[in-house]
Chain A
Amino acid sequence: MNILIPDSWLKEHLKTKATPKQVANYLTLCSQTVEKIKKVNGDSVYETEITTNRPDCLSVYGIARELNAILPQFGIKAKLKEIAESKKEIPQVKKGLPLKVKINKPSLCPRFTALIFKNITIKPSPKIIQERLEKSGVRPLNNVIDISNYLMLESGQPMHTFDYDKIKKATMILREAKKGEKIVTLDKETRTLPTGAIVIEDGTGRIIDLCGIMGGANSEVDEKTKRVLLFVQTYDPMKIRRTCQALAFRTEAAARFEKGVNPEGVIPAMKKARIMFEKNCGAKVASELIDIYPNPQKAKTVKLDINQAEKLIGVKITKQKITNILESLGFSLVTDHQSLITFSVPHWRYDDVSIPEDLIEEIARIYGYHRLPSNLPRGKIPAVTKDSTFEWIYQIKNAFKNWGLTEVMSYSMVSQTQLEKTEIEPKECIKISNPLTEDLVYMRPSLIPSLLMVVSENNQDEITIFELANVYLYQKIDKLPDEAPMLTGLLTGEKFYQAKGVVESILATMGINNYQFEPYHLKQTFYGKVFHPARTAEVMVKKDSLGVVGEISPHVLARFGVKGRVVVFDLDFRELAKRASKAKKYTPIPKYPAIVEDLTFVVPPKTLVGEMFEEIEKASQLIKLTELIDSYKNTRTFRITYQSPKKTLTDKEVEKIRGKIVHKLKTKFEAKLK
């Protein structure tokens, strides 16, 4: 969370000549990051990001305490001043105003303090307080409320003020909210409380405070208020956090309470508040100080081996220097046995420092990461076998780029509508419980819906795209889905053969040769429904399928609002990578000339050229190459290259093979040589 710290306020607590620029730089290098220095009326205001583990830094004083340790490391003198007001005892009052307190569960409120003031005159705060609040991003309201905000910003301890006369029967019961209970908070919002929210009920059963988050409107301080109950507490951080989450509502106070507020800081804050009430509001203490603190914080120590510090930081820092650094942060040396030193943890760091590594972090950051050398790791390079998939992915993507395809990347999540349009059953897909929008609900089991979306959303004539990404396939309730990489491409227009050509080229690039394209016949599968029943082929290697290439069914296209034809190839990249090979094979350059001739056949309708190829090639080992060079109506012209590695073929030898080809094509397909 970010806080604003005015330089002038900071320097009330820290005596130093450091310039704002130095303060910002050195605080950033060794503690909390100053994101910006803003100039406000001649003052510098540090916008500082405080990490979640350091709630002790969520205040002017907390930052001053850090700088007190940091600045001397840069050769700049700094001295942290004590808050004199926090040392002055609260006067005893005889026969004070009553307040009955009952805490239902001690863990809800580790420390409860309260003090009542009388003779209050409500008016604006002194100018300096108003200015400091404004610079810190808080709107000044009146002298009473401003005290609680001012001290929260200065000491990190949130406070709350009630109009004492609005607390019926001078009774407070601190308890957990029951389901459905409501409160109107100070901002006049009616809030339905989640079960377990910490609340205070007065003597008539009214809820008058949503503890740690915001007070109730029914007990607020207004211009007529004469007597004020000041409330300084700590709460169970988890309860505050859950309530904020459930209400989707968070205040400055709540943001501090949910990170943990130091119970030892309660009394000093209360003491300073008392002095400010007297000074700013003309108030007088009208009650005993109520302080309920059943389980005071125990002393906590952490043991450190200085050799371990060196091992982790990478440079040797002397024991003396380590001790100096930790003491400057408020730790104190308890025992010292050679390399082992034990420190007690200051109360404001109680929750965040527990193990030796925590101390090492303190040493490293104050010593300064900027002072450490940069070294590349030495030691052995791990002997792991490389996954060649990544290399293939990059090669194939580059090949696609060079073949004119454009890579798209779409979200892994799709909508129910997109699935249904593509004949996918949403029930069978991995579903997100808390999706961001209804477009991003299911983990896609196919890239096809995403690519069709690209076509439907881009108003362009010619689209040639591909995506290589995981699809997610449900397996079992206690098993992670199968994440299968798919290589899917899409071409608009009547381009089946171009798409098929791309597939053939991928297979060639990956060194996969023994494949076949077979017409896809299954009707009930996903592919059978999404692709055109008579214009789709499956890529097979023996009995394994590598994927399909085909036209998308016109019905599916219509649902996506796409006109014309669309061809898609959808390949299982794992199957491809499994069979891919970079092995090269050498075939001697032929010594004897080849004989090339063209044969044209007249074929019956729907004769598969693929099968004709197979038959031709089976005719003789001397057929080196078969190409289809022309295809018009019912004629197919093949160019056949005959070649022997041993001799120059004679016309007679070729004639014999030709005869075999013609015979085979005739008996198998009723094809006639033209």
Chain B
Amino acid sequence: MESNRIQNLKNQAISSILEAQSDEELEELRIAYLGRKGRITQLLKEIPSLSPSERKEIGQLANDAKNAIEQALADSKRAQAAKEIDIDKEWLDVTAPGKRPSVGHLHLVTEAIQEITTIFEKIGFTRVAYPEVEWDWYAFEGLNMPENHPARDEWETLYIDHLENKKYGHAVLTPHTSSGQLREMKRLGKPPIRMLNIAKCYRRQSDVSHAPMFYQFEGLVIDKGINITHLKGTLDYFAKQYFGPNRKTRIRPFHFQFTEPSIEVDVSCDICQGKGCRLCKQGWLELGGAGMVHPIVLKNGGIDPEKYTGFAFGWGVERVLMMKAGLKIDDLRLLYTNDLRFLKQF
């Protein structure tokens, strides 16, 4: 019994298998080679009688042949089964609706917050959160707005009953995220600071463009050598990333007690392409306020204004959302009244 014979036997078997036309033929071939009296089976039975050196080599070959034939039989059986399907007669109405996995909806504001966070994290800002119920000192006094200062009128502040601290005054609902500026300075102790504070804010105001609760995002950068060009660079970077490369930005002088100089930032209107329309002001949409941190505020935060300078900005999340998407939501309060017919649109 030489190895050639085994090889031939295997080849013969496989070619017959490939030519077989039906399951019956395949079964006959299986019996012929692998059945109890099959030729391979016979061959395997002879192995114990061989000399030890032959036994190993021939045994290996015979086993390989057996496996190869078994594999070929299985493959052919599957091919045979496939042939029995009449592809031409099969049909599906591919225009009928698909069966979707049940998918829910994220709130528009959540998505905007995530997008804003990603943009600022790329340039080294770290997201933080500070109290929404906050002491007056952090929300006003420490930001260079003493009690009864007319600048406080711009925030329709909501006050908390029976909550007062000797050092920090009474409690308010944060009307802006700027209260986080002093918190961040005090927490970190010293620059460099690159803070992104995104939080709920509250004002005593409710109309189509104001909800009593809304979100702001506040950036604060303090380091040596920070100047207005850095504020400008950061605003431009954000506007290009968030609104797209075709929108322009504009800086106007403005006034805030806690920044000096103070500015307001506009983005060109996407509805009229900056030409001026009913929805914008001379082609511009107001994004929000910014400025160089007032030396008094730095001092209040425990930072030496002789050594360090900084900039800050605080803008409305809903506002940038509406400005970006051209969503044209006719009443901003819809975002927080949880009409599922509204929420499920996004």
Is B54 part of the binding interface, using a Cβ–Cβ cutoff of 8 Å? no
The answer to whether B252 and A28 touch across the interface, beta carbons within 8 angstroms, is yes
Query: Scoring A residues 234 to 251 as 1 if CB is less than 8 Å from chain B, else 0, what string do you get?
Result: 000110011000000000
Contacts of B101 in A (CB 8 A): 402, 404
- List residues of chain A with CB within 8 A of the CB of B134: 480
Q: Main SS of chain B's interface residues?
A: mixed
Q: Is the CB of A357 within 8 A of B294?
A: yes
> A394 — which chain B residues lie within 8 A by C-beta?
110, 114
- Of B8-16, B25-33, B192-200, the stretch lying at the interface with chain A is B192-200
Binds A, one of B87-95, B160-168, B322-330: B160-168
Chain B positions within 8 Å of A355 at CB level = 260, 295
Does B35 make an interface contact (CB < 8 A)? Answer: no
Residue B261 is within 8 A (CB to CB) of chain A in the complex: yes
Name the residue in B106, B166, B223 with the highest tally of chain A Cβ atoms < 10 Å from its Cβ.
B106
Residue B104 is within 8 A (CB to CB) of chain A in the complex? yes
Assess the B164–A312 pair: CB atoms within 8 A. no
Q: For residue A368, which residue of chain B has the nearest CB?
A: B251
Q: Which of A53, A405, A460 has the most CB of B within 10 A?
A: A53
**A287 CB within 8 Å of chain B:** no
Contact B128 A237 (CB under 8 A): no
Query: For chain B residues 217-257, which have a beta carbon within 8 Å of chain A?
Result: 221, 223-230, 232-234, 236-237, 250-255
Give the chain A neighbours of B158 by CB distance below 8 A. Answer: 432-436
Cβ-defined contact, A36 with B281, below 8 A: yes
Q: Decide yes or no whether B335 CB sits under 8 A from chain A.
A: yes
B302 within 8 Å of A by Cβ? no
Sorting the interface of chain A by its residue count into under 10, 10 to 19, 20 to 34 or 35 or more gives 35 or more
Report the number of A-B residue pairs with Cβ-Cβ less than 8 Å: 254
Contact A365 B225 (CB under 8 A): no
State which residues 462-478 of A face B: CB under 8 Å. Answer: 463-465, 470, 472, 477-478
Instruction: Determine the chain B residues whose CB is within 8 A of the CB of A52 once the complex forms.
Output: 150-151, 154, 255
A299 at the interface (CB under 8 A from B): no
Q: How far is the CA of A259 from the CA of B104 in the complex (A)?
A: 51
Chain B hits for A443, CB < 8 A: 133, 160, 173
Interface assignment of B282: CB less than 8 Å from any CB of chain A: yes
Known: A53-B255, A436-B212. A313 touches B192 (CB 8 A): no
Q: Does B68 contact A (CB under 8 A)?
A: no
Q: Which of B40-48, B57-65, B202-210, B267-275 contacts A (4 or more CB under 8 A)?
A: B202-210
Distance between Cα atoms of A379 and B310 in the complex (Å): 13
> Could you tell me the distance between the alpha carbons of A440 and B206 in the complex, rounded to whole angstroms?
12
Residue of B132, B228, B234, B262 near A313 (CB, 8 A) is: B228
Q: B250's contact among A29, A31, A431, by CB below 8 Å, is which?
A: A29
Closest Cβ–Cβ distance, residue B85 to chain A (whole Å): 32
B316-345 vs A, Cβ < 8 Å mask (1 yes, 0 no): 000000000000000000011011110110
Hey, which chain B residues are within 8 Å of A398, CB to CB? 106
Evaluate contact between A34 and B282: CB separation under 8 angstroms.
yes
How many angstroms from the CA of A408 to the CA of B173 in the assembled complex?
A: 22
Q: Does A620 contact B (CB under 8 A)?
A: no
Asked whether, in the complex, the Cβ of A364 is within 8 Å of the Cβ of B261, the reply is: yes
Can you list 15 A-B pairs with a CB-CB distance of less than 8 A? A51-B253, A52-B150, A242-B148, A312-B228, A365-B253, A369-B263, A375-B230, A377-B233, A397-B110, A401-B105, A403-B102, A410-B338, A412-B200, A432-B173, A478-B163
A369-B252, A378-B225 are known; give 10 further A-B pairs, CB within 8 A: A52-B255, A241-B153, A365-B261, A376-B123, A379-B225, A402-B104, A409-B109, A436-B205, A477-B162, A477-B164
Q: Which residues of A contact B (CB under 8 A)?
A: 24, 28-37, 51-54, 237-238, 241-242, 258-259, 311-315, 355, 357-358, 360-361, 364-365, 369-370, 372-382, 384, 386-387, 390, 394, 397-398, 400-413, 430-437, 440, 443, 453-454, 457-458, 460, 463-465, 470, 472, 477-481, 483
